[in-house]
Every structure is written in structure tokens, then in C-alpha cells.
Amino acid sequence: MNDLLIQHIGQLLLPKKTDRPLKGKELDELKIIEDGTVVVKDGRIIYAGPFTEDYEARQTIDATGKVVSPSLVDAHTHLVHGGSREHEMSLKRQGASYLEILEQGGGIHSTVRATREASEEELFRKSEYHLLTMMHHGVLAVESKSGYGLDKENELKQLRVSHALADKYKLDMKHTFLGPHAVPKGREGHAFLEEMIAILPDVKEYADFADIFCETGVFTIDESRYYMQKAKEAGFRVKIHADEIDPLGGLELAIEEDAISADHLVAASDRGKEMLKNSDTVAVLLPGTTFYLGKNDYADARGMLDNNGAIAVATDFNPGSCVTNNLQMVMAIAALKLKLTPNEIWNAVTVNAAKAIGLEAGTIDAGDKANLVIWHAPNHEYIPYHYGINHAEKVIKDGKVIVDRDLSIEV
């Protein structure tokens, strides 16, 4: 007997399973089946397609008028961190830039202090709440970065918390070491970078990827290249925070070093975007960050796709420059500001987001994990259209309903 049968699905979204990320025009290709059926047994998909009465199951869900999709993948988060920085909003309103706040001892430095002061248990409880919020919004695969310790003890503390969360909730989670996220006050940049390189063998037990913040006032292109090469020698796939503020050539560097992703890319050069066509490096775009920082210029998603590049969309959830863990909200910003089509958005937060963090996720094919979302929405365009709320009605993990949002109220 099968475990779960979802019948009469209004729209069943079936992103294409590939061995590489979807690129260029492929991102706008999304198979949509009306009046669909999904069948689950032993936590795996055994059928996903047009309506059929060929299957029975212990549990049947009628999804008439609903959308069913793969669960979402958030490919860039700073999930584990101490403290918060709501006091910086007044500085932003007065026109202070991100780098100016950083120079005043705020920004990352403020979060580093709070993260160092927090116990492992305190960090776990705080991060658990944020993770559960993500899951309630339909996310069942997450990339979680360190980067708020800036020393061996506290970077490892962040990564251990990240692993503890993944273990407790049995999530598809990837862990990224971002030791070179900022240069600590009073330290010289290259000497600090050497310190982060020296602990790569220690963090290898806990981290899947090594990342670096390549930006004016942080780490240069040459320093970033040196770090990425050392990280690869230590056995890591590499990532890079690149071209967020200034066009330093971080996207080009990512492609040259075969990074699995290059993230932010608001100021990416035309040459970098052109190089994407010959690369499987995924450009992970974070429009929620641009929105929160009050910037007018967003990453050139259309230019990247026109150059046959691969893009994904993620939250960049963090306490300073993008304080949301609602990927649905970011999907709306991607529609409005990145000018992405609904099909492109869905592929960017499922199959391509999974490719950006090296996961087999984001599809609903026979044999896949039955990680699904049933959306209270008439069609897939509605979810980024009606922004700022949670449309996830049921979240299904390994074939079991783990979130069931009953919005009825007794009066």
C-alpha cells in the first residue's frame, strides 16, 4: 500500500531534472500539469503526472484548486548568528552606507560580538526558530554559512550549531565556512586571511564549501583568488560573495576558479556576465538584500540569462542587510525588480537553487524524496503576485505532512 496520494492537483509543477543547472532560456521552461496526481511510498515519489485512478494510499489529499511544487531551496543564508541590528535602521534612514556602518564598528562587527558572546545552546535556540519559520514557508533545503565568529573557536561553534539543526530536523542542509567575511578590527587583512586558511583542515569536518567576501574594504580579487585556491587544495568546493557593491571582477574570478556559485553580483561586469555562457557556476541573486538596503540598482538577471547563464534566487537571510527568511517574499521581489517570469522564479528557487549548493533536490520525479508543498493558490503565478504572506498550506517532508496550516478561527 502506498503512503500518500495527492489527487486533482490544480497545477502540478515539475521542474526539469538535469545533471547541471538550467541556463538561459531553459529557466523559462517549466512543465505544468493541470488535474495532476502525486503518489508517495516509503518517503519517495513513485508517480507524478496527470490524474490517474491507478493508485491507492493510506492517506489521500484532495488538492483541487491548489498548486503542488517541490519544496523550496534557500541557497544562501546566514542562519546561525547572535544578536540583531534593528538600531542600524535609523542610520540607514540618515543615508549611511553599509560600508560606513561597518567602519563605525557596526554591521558585521556588531554581529560578531553578539555571536561570540552567545553560548552554543543560545545560538541553537535562536537559529532553530528562524529555521522553523523557513520550513513553515515551504523551504526544506538550506545552505547555512558561518562567518560571524572570525576566529577558530566561534566559526566552529556556528558550524556545529548548523549541523545540530540539520540533524534534529533531518533536513537537506549544506554548511559553508565563511571565515573571511570581514577583517576584524585592528587586524591586517592578509594576516587574518592566512589565519582563516590555517583552520581550513579543522572546519573540513563541518563544512561543505569555503566562501569569501570579495569587496572594497574587505578582501581583494588577488586575496580572494589565493584563498579559493588554498581552499580547493584543502578539498573544498568554493563560493564567493562577489561584486555586491563595486565591480571588482568577482564573477570572473568565480568562473575561473570553477566556483559552484557566485552570489550577489549587483555590480557584475558585462565581461563576467558574458563568461557565464561557458560555465556551470550558478549566479545566486539576492534581490531582498538590494531591497532592504534601499538601492535602486538590482542584479542584471536578464543580462545573465541572455548570456545563457545559470541563475538562482535566495534570501541572504542575515541580521544586517536582509532581515527576512521568507523566500516567498523574495520571489515577489525577483518578479518585480529582477524582471523574472513566474517559470524562471520557480526554477530559480527549486532545481537551480539546489545546483548552487550541490544538492539533489527541487524536482518531483519518480525516485525523488517526497519533499513537497501544497500551496493555497489558484496557479503558480499567484504566489509571487500576492506578496508578503505565507501561501504554503501543507509542507510535506519525506512523504509526511509536517506543516498543516489550518487558518480557521473559532468565534
Binding-site residues for Zn(2+): 76, 78, 241, 316
Could you tell me which residues are annotated as the binding site for Fe(3+)? 76, 78, 241, 316
What SS3 class is residue 245?
coil
Could you tell me which residues are annotated as the binding site? 76, 78, 85, 148, 181, 241, 244, 316, 318, 320-321
Burial 297-327 (b: 16+ CB within 10 A, else e): ebbbbeebbebebbbbbbbbbbbbbbbbbbb
As to burial, measured by CB atoms within 10 angstroms (0-12 exposed, 13-18 middle, 19+ buried), residue 91 is middle
CA dist., res. 249 & res. 267, Å (int):
9
Could you tell me which residues are annotated as the binding site for N-formimidoyl-L-glutamate? 148, 318, 320
Looking at the DSSP assignment, which residues form a beta bridge with residue 192?
none
HSE-CB of 166 using CA atoms within 13 angstroms: 19
How many of the other CB atoms lie within 10 Å of CB of 95? 8
CA dist., res. 5 & res. 157, Å (int):
42
DSSP 191: H
Contact 186, 178 (CB under 8 A): no
201's grid cell: 583542515
Element (H, E) at 389: none
